[in-house]
A and B are shown apart, each in its own frame.
Chain A
Amino acid sequence: MIELTYQTLDPEKTTALVRKDSNGAVVTFLGTTRNSFEGRRVIMLEYEAFEEMAINKLEDIHRELQAEFQIDDIAIAHRIGSVPIGEISLVVAVASPHRLEAFQACHQAVNRLKETVPIWKKEIYEDGSRWVACEDHEISSAEGAEVEAHRH
């Protein structure tokens, strides 16, 4: 089960989707919004998604993990829009007959989500903001000036 929502996430609800009498282990991961980045106070996070593709990519991850770990029961819910500090932005729930597969598949689900799913996180500070993971896109003032010069 895959869900993208602007609403508050309910981890109990997502976890309930994977619980079955045939499963002896349930692992639920919660991603929560942190209040600092390198000493700067973060006051809010904003998530944006390319929703159609994000759902496709989450479904791909779901299918891959089912095949790799031979398990059926995986549920992923991601919140988008504004998320206040301390609230849940991600729930990944995995259940399996034994615990090892559930732990591993849950870990992999989060890793792959962060690599391939088109969702973006912006940290809002009291005096500015930053798109997370875009360090390689920083344009130094010298480069900016050069680009400006080429344009004319």
Chain B
Amino acid sequence: MQILVRFFALYRERAGLNQIALELPQDSTVSDLTEEVRRQFPNLAPPQVDIVVAVNADYAAPETALKSGDDVCLIPPVSGG
């Protein structure tokens, strides 16, 4: 299945793009997705740091199952205010 992944702030700058379409096997999880993103963008985040993910505009745990058409965003540490 194809999943559109959007990058913000630090991740957008490190990836050098706003979004990417990822091809993932059916039944992939958020954790599978971050693994694939790290493979394609090794310098996005150091290995010891968890990449926080939002699915359909809410935070999603690593075990969350993805489905085709989900809106996935990678969320670097937030710093509003």
Interface pair B46/A120, CB less than 8 Å apart: no
Q: Is B76 an interface residue (CB 8 A)?
A: yes
Interface pair A90/B75, CB less than 8 Å apart: no
Number of interface residues of B (CB under 8 A): 23
Enumerate A26-85 residues with CB–CB distance to B below 8 Å: 31, 47-50, 52-54, 56, 78
Q: Is A107 an interface residue (CB 8 A)?
A: no
CA distance A148 to B42 in the complex (A): 8
Interface pair A137/B58, CB less than 8 Å apart: no
With A131-B9, A131-B10 as contacts: A136 and B80 at CB distance below 8 Å:
no
Chain B interface residues (CB < 8 Å from chain A): 6, 8-10, 13, 42-43, 45-47, 49, 54, 57-59, 73, 75-81
Chain A interface residues (CB < 8 Å from chain B): 31, 47-50, 52-54, 56, 78, 89-90, 110, 113-122, 131-134, 136-139, 143-144, 147-148, 150-151
* Interchain residue pairs with CB less than 8 A apart (22): A31-B81, A47-B80, A48-B8, A50-B75, A52-B57, A53-B58, A54-B80, A56-B58, A89-B81, A90-B80, A114-B78, A114-B80, A117-B78, A117-B80, A118-B73, A118-B80, A119-B78, A120-B8, A120-B80, A121-B81, A133-B77, A144-B43
